[in-house]
């Protein structure tokens, strides 16, 4: 089963014209999103979203912090900076980086010690 979670403004946008993105959901919707994370095996995003939003993608509800799903990042060129939360916390929360088969092994070398599983 696949669940899609998307938040948009009344005009159907997810960011301003300049690319700025602020909370467009309230506390109840954000809590529900964290519960959804605890209920699912994995959460997947693209590298662009990872760079723009800088998310942790963990469940941060009290008593459920250990229920965070595997984080899957689609990153064709393994372009995420090493200091992003997804890479920096890969040893604590399972993180899979899905890349193109042509991506050079040298691009994955810095990610592996951080705890990321690289597939491509």
Q: What is the pLDDT along the chain (120 residues), one digit of tens a residue?
A: 788 888 777 777 766 666 666 677 788 988 998 899 999 999 999 999 999 889 999 999 999 989 999 999 999 999 999 999 999 999 999 999 999 888 777 777 787 777 777 876
Helix (H) or strand (E) holding 45: strand 42-46
Task: Specify the 3-state DSSP secondary structure of 5.
Answer: coil
All structural domains of the chain, each given as residue ranges with its CATH number in brackets, are 27-119 (3.40.430.10)
Can you give the pTM of this predicted structure?
0.82
73 beta partners: 45, 97
């Amino acid at each position: 089963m696949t669940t899609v979670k998307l938040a948009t403004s009344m005009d159907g946008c997810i960011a301003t014209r300049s690319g700025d993105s602020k909370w467009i959901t309230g506390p109840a919707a954000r809590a529900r999103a964290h519960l959804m994370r605890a209920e699912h095996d994995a959460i997947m995003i693209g590298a662009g979203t990872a760079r723009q939003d800088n998310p942790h993608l963990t469940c941060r509800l009290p008593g459920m912090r250990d229920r965070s799903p595997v984080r899957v990042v689609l990153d064709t060129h393994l372009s995420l900076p090493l200091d992003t939360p997804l890479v920096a916390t890969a040893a604590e929360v399972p993180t899979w980086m899905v890349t193109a088969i042509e991506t050079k092994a040298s691009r994955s070398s810095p990610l592996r010690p951080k705890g990321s599983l690289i597939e491509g």
